[in-house]
A and B are shown apart, each in its own frame.
Chain A
Amino acid sequence: MTDITTTQTPFVGRSLWADALARLKANKAAMFSLIYLALMAIACVFGPYFVSHPYTTIYPDYVRTPPSLSAYPQAEMIDTALKDAVRRMRVDLEEWHEQDERIFVTISSPKQIDERVTRYLDRSDTFDNTRIESKSADGLKLTMSATVAKEHFYFGTDNTGRDLLSRVLMGGRISLAIGLLAGCVAVCIGVLYGATAGFMGGKTDEIMMRIVDILYSLPFIFFVIMLVVFFGRNFVLMFLAVGAVLWLDMARIVRGQALSIRRQEYVQAAEALGVSSGGILLRHIVPNLLGPVVIYMTLLVPQVIILESFLSFLGLGVQEPMTSWGVLISQGAKNIGSANWLLLYPAFFLVSTLFALNFIGDGLRDALDPKDR
């Protein structure tokens, strides 16, 4: 028998994980969602650095500006701003026109015009770098030019004149981070607790699950609100705590799975081989548990994001000037009559992200558990 050599190359097997990956790759909705989610994450993490308006900066000239692809200020806004400035100069506006990215303004007055009037233009958010172009000999007519500060508000601005685009991206950063953070906490606690209960079995299991039952029957919202009250403004701590509340489902799922895996003949076979409890847990139970855990995790993250938005909606979540999708939607809901983009943009970002996460979850379930189809 010793002539058997291990040098001959064995066939490479296809593990269930490889199979699942292949099935996942074949699922167009899930793959598309995965890409979408990745782009969304990149946009939210790096986007705010590229948007020229910091999410906290207030533009008093641009309160509740509707979204637009073209740059602000538009002609009539220049006109308004200009007239405003000219009125403060106590002179008359003769004429203005735009040329080479500068505007040329001609003013006249019955009296001599002081050249220092240019500062009135500079004071406005709209204009910069004002300089005198020409002055009539009698000093009653003056032409000056200024650059116009071009601002793009692709998503419009909010009630206080902050750029919605950067706020939505910033909010996404918070919402996604919180979803991931609390999701991980919940999964960790749930898996540890559930696997312990399921693997120990007997009295330990009974007591541990009894505790879960009692926690279940407490109104969930009560718990969350109490946590908000305790942890107050520190949202990282708060969402660690929220994650610590959401583990109940995970614990039940994992326990059920662990119990059923423990009854499998391959675990009995391992016991018959004398494999230790730890070995069985590591080699048999954990790898077979991983599927349901991964699936549940992808479904948990949107739950947490919704929860965060829900709390923010109630004013219990992230505090101003920091923002999240829930905060933005809440503000949008209060302004649906006058500025519906305040609702529509954050709602679209939130909902599309939730959809993507759901599709990924479904795809993973189909891939890991193909008999369900």
Chain B
Amino acid sequence: MLRYVFRRLLTAIPTLFVIVTISFFLIRVAPGGPFNQERGLNPVIKANLERQFGLDQPLWMQYLHYLNNLLHGNFGPSYNLPDFTVAELFKVGLPVSIQVGASALILALIIGTILGVIAALRQNKGADYAVIATATAGSTVPTFVIAPIYQLIFATTLALVPVATWGGGALVNKIGPIVTLALPQIAIVARLMRGSMIEALRSHHIRTARALGLSDWSIIVKHALRGALLPIVSYSGPAAAALLTGSIIVETIFQIPGVGRYFVEAALNRDYTLVMGTVVVIALFTILFNLIVDILYAAVDPRVRYD
């Protein structure tokens, strides 16, 4: 198993390398630069700034330089937030994004699984249709509609929560973002779960368990649910990577100081190092969670072996 993990991490290196390379050159061939935005910037000062950050060197030199830094764990300074290094920005923002994202993911997995199982057990009955309707709604209404409507109802009309403040992360401020992030996920998980549970309940080994007179609990939980969870496990890997690295929409609407916002801002401002830092962090999360998913998969399904 350890050998497998090691091998997987090893194969992640070329992937990461390709991602970094593509992103580096993509952002660099885009017109504009980090210091073009400020109008009327003295050309001399601009040249100085560019020299200071090594932007006057040939592109391939900069690329090698960046790779070298990256290998030493150095993400470089942020060009547009000159007081911070990219690493510092992540140190502050990432915990916030992870906290909100992880809460939403856990909430979604629990509620989604329960809803999905209920729907599957009551297939084509009232409860099933209710779950399907909820799931359809949840996965159809985009976040940027859910979030303002949440604010309209709970903040503006009912005045139960503040409109859009982080306030050091008080629970009441977190409800909105977590719910907004979780709703679509709940919908997806419930749908997946319903489908895989229905399939599991139809499978031959469940028929065997019924014929042996086993209890409903054993049939549903022990024999059907365990196998039916596999698609959810697969899904939760990429979902976790996406949620934990922050959502642009939710962080913008609810004014959350996470890392989700960095991406758009940095890309628009040509804050090269920050963009690259975000790309690397997202890629790392994706690789890590895919690995975790595969390990979990092997834990659930004995047929999957890694050695």
Contacts and interface: CB of A to CB of B under 8 A. Distances in A.
Task: Indicate if A touches B (C-beta under 8 A).
Answer: yes
Contacts of A218: 19, 22-23, 279, 283
Interface string B31-65: 11000000000000000000000000000000000
Interface stretch (A34-42, A110-118, A128-136, A306-314): A306-314
Interface string A202-224: 00000000000010011101100
User: Which secondary structure characterizes the binding site on chain A?
Assistant: helix
Contacts of B248: 221, 314
B30 interface: yes
Given A229-B30, A229-B31, A336-B151, A217 B15 contact: yes
Given A218-B23, A219-B283, A333-B148, A229 B136 contact: no
A225 B275 CA distance: 11
Contacts of A330: 144
User: Which secondary structure characterizes the binding site on chain B?
Assistant: helix
B286 A217 contact: yes
B175 to A, nearest CB: 17
B268 A229 contact: yes
B249 interface: yes
A355 interface: yes
A185 interface: no
B148 A329 contact: yes
B142 A336 contact: no
Contacts of B147: 333
B67 interface: no
Given A219-B283, A332-B148, A358-B136, A226 B142 contact: no
Contacts of B278: 219, 222
B152 interface: yes
Given A218-B23, A336-B151, A343-B152, A351 B286 contact: no
Contacts of B27: 226
Contact of A313 (B22, B249, B268): B249
Contact of A350 (B18, B139, B145): B145
Contacts of B267: 222, 225-226, 229
A337 B141 CA distance: 21
Given A214-B15, A337-B156, A222 B144 contact: no
Interface of B: 15, 18-19, 22-23, 26-27, 30-32, 136-137, 139-142, 144-145, 147-149, 151-152, 156, 163, 248-249, 252-253, 263-264, 267-268, 275, 278-279, 282-283, 286-287
